[in-house]
A and B are shown apart, each in its own frame.
Chain A
Amino acid sequence: MTAYGEGAIIRAARNDVLGRDGKYGWPQSDCWNSTLIPHENDHLKYAFVGPALLLLIALNIFPLFYSLFLSFTNAELSGGAATFVGTANYSTVFSTPRFATAMRTTATFVCLAVAIEVSLGYALALCFRAPFRGKSVMLAVLLVPMMLSPAVVGLYWNVILNGNYGILNQILGALGAGQPQWLTDPDLKLYSLLLIDVWMWTPFAMLISLAGLNAIPGHLYEAAQIDRASRWTVFRRITLPLSFPLVALAALFRTTDALKLFDQVMAVTGPNDEATQTLSALLYQVIFRNYKMGQGSAYAMVVLVIVIALSTIFVRHIQTFQTRHGRAA
């Protein structure tokens, strides 16, 4: 308990006004503590939030600047003196085709993965809406892939996709279909990764979509019934628009995650396969296989600019989402 600080009451009153103004804190913040307990000092609140924020700064902000510095040097992973090389690393990044290829691979993967997972997840959520027997067991089983370690999942899928003894080709063989080489055919490898990702993460999109669907008030459907609206109209005018914000949220979560794709690439093809080299795999290859730390940092900075741009969009969406739905969305 601290003593009354000089001017604490005035400060509290001011905070109160500013708080009501919505200038500080969350829109709904009523800043009750400032008015009720004017004797609290300002240091206390920083003691609560400080340690966590300091750790985040140490592990995120500092590395960013250090990475920026390294990207202008020819530092090697093995250590040794690094010299300043100007923008040479950046010209390598933009002049070699491997970065463009990795960008294309990643973009293809992200677009396809998000589109399939979200639409499939949404369709499944529509089916999961009505209660039926065994629903919770079914949901539980579908969620198991999400809990597995992506790296190990990638390794395990070799058993399924292997061209020779994989179960998938055994089934295809029994059906008289061809024997695609899922893991070695350069045209198929990326789609094999996509298949694994869809298997792991479609239930995630489904879960969020289901929450969106369940939040639609029932009286809207009753009104539609009175209006004798067709099922398609009901879907287009009520179900889809009202669940859309959450579906978008699912899409954004999956986008930011799919952008980082690395674990499965390592397990399925290794980091240096042209057909599946995502941005993260490229970074790994440059830094840990070619030992080019400076150049890797230049790649990392470019990747970070992209990620930060995208995450800004994401954060904006969450911001509007939360304001619109209140904090308890």
Chain B
Amino acid sequence: MVKRFFLGSYFFIAALPLVWLLLTSVKTRTDVIDPSFRVLPTQTVEASPPSFNPTTAGYRDLNEPISGSVHGFLHFLWNSIVIGLLSTIASVALGTSCAYGFSRFDIPGARDWLFFTLSTRFLPPLAVVVPLLVMYRTFDLPNTHIGLILLYTGFNLSLAVWLMKGFIDEIPKAYEEAALVDGYSRWQAFTRIILPQARTGMAVTAVFCLISAWNEFGFAMTLNNARAITVPVYFAGLQGDIQGIPWPRITAGVLVFVAPIVVFTVLVRNHILRGVTFGTVKQ
């Protein structure tokens, strides 16, 4: 009974901001910043508190450029998609082959390498951004998609290697053994036996790499100020807007932006725990 009550009240409190996010996205800006309590959507003309007239304007105007910006939301969303997808593909590819190597061969110092890989995840982006910026300037990479793709690939490799190693370790070695005896080369055994078997693992890894690349802010903001701005940086930049922050559009944008992540996460729901703990915990 106590448990039910505790759980229920936490759920209620935690769900409120999400409900409010939804409501804010269907309000007008005036209603959002109205200090009187407006929570109930209603169709009546001239709604008075606690009601408001819902509108889809936040979604319709989402792509309108805001305060002098040349581009609208879709431009930044496209940047996020290109960077997110390509870095995810690269992380999964490199991570899978690396995990396979660690899983099936004697690599001298394997333990140390694996823990080095994991520890790269703990570095705060702001603590390594200066040398990266200098490096990127040398190779002419800041403000480019490829710059962020490389960075996110490296950043997500720790996750990809650890997750994939767990999944590949679970594939019986007898499969490859048979294939190798039958005259497959190691590469053929990897591509034709292991990769199909590791499909689930690769999907899970891809989802979690995508989430972190999709939502990343520190590097995206500091290495870019022109051509490859992603959605989180775009929204965060609206903070000091002199015309007032366009809340309905931002909240609508937040919901549009998180939608694909929610869909992908639901697809790999049985492996969420594994994903968020780098495969150190298995469900």
Contact = CB atoms under 8 A, between A and B. Distances in A.
Given A25-B110, A53-B113, A259 B124 contact: yes
Contacts of B15: 141-142
Contact of B239 (A48, A149, A155, A259): A155
Interface residues of A, number: 113
Q: Which of B106, B126, B154 has the most CB of A within 10 A?
A: B126
Contacts of B131: 62-64, 66-67, 70, 297
A118 interface: no
Contacts of A327: 166, 169
Interface string B1-42: 001101100110011111011001000000011111100000
Interface in B265-283: 265-266, 269, 272-273, 276-277, 280-283
Interface stretch (B59-67, B114-122, B195-203): B114-122
Contacts of A267: 236, 239
What's the interface size class on B, roughly? 35 or more
Interface string A42-81: 0011111101110110111011101100100000010100
Interface string B100-115: 1110111110110101
B113 A262 contact: no
Contact of B17 (A1, A199, A259, A266): A199
Contacts of B186: 40, 44
Nearest to B155: A59
Interface in A271-329: 279-280, 283-284, 287-288, 293, 296-297, 300, 303-304, 307-308, 310-312, 314-315, 318-319, 321-322, 327-329
B11 A249 contact: no
B94 A307 contact: no
B20 to A, nearest CB: 6
B278 to A, nearest CB: 9
Contacts, number: 306
Interface of A: 1, 15, 18-19, 24-26, 29, 31-34, 36-37, 40, 44-49, 51-53, 55-56, 58-60, 62-64, 66-67, 70, 77, 79, 120, 123-124, 126-128, 138, 140-152, 154-160, 162, 164-165, 167, 170, 174, 199, 202-204, 207-208, 211, 246, 249, 253, 256, 259-260, 262-263, 266-267, 279-280, 283-284, 287-288, 293, 296-297, 300, 303-304, 307-308, 310-312, 314-315, 318-319, 321-322, 327-329
30 contacts: A19-B106, A25-B111, A33-B173, A45-B105, A45-B106, A49-B102, A55-B94, A55-B153, A56-B117, A59-B154, A67-B128, A70-B134, A79-B137, A126-B3, A142-B11, A144-B18, A147-B211, A150-B215, A151-B236, A155-B245, A156-B21, A156-B24, A156-B251, A208-B273, A263-B232, A283-B124, A311-B119, A312-B119, A318-B118, A329-B282
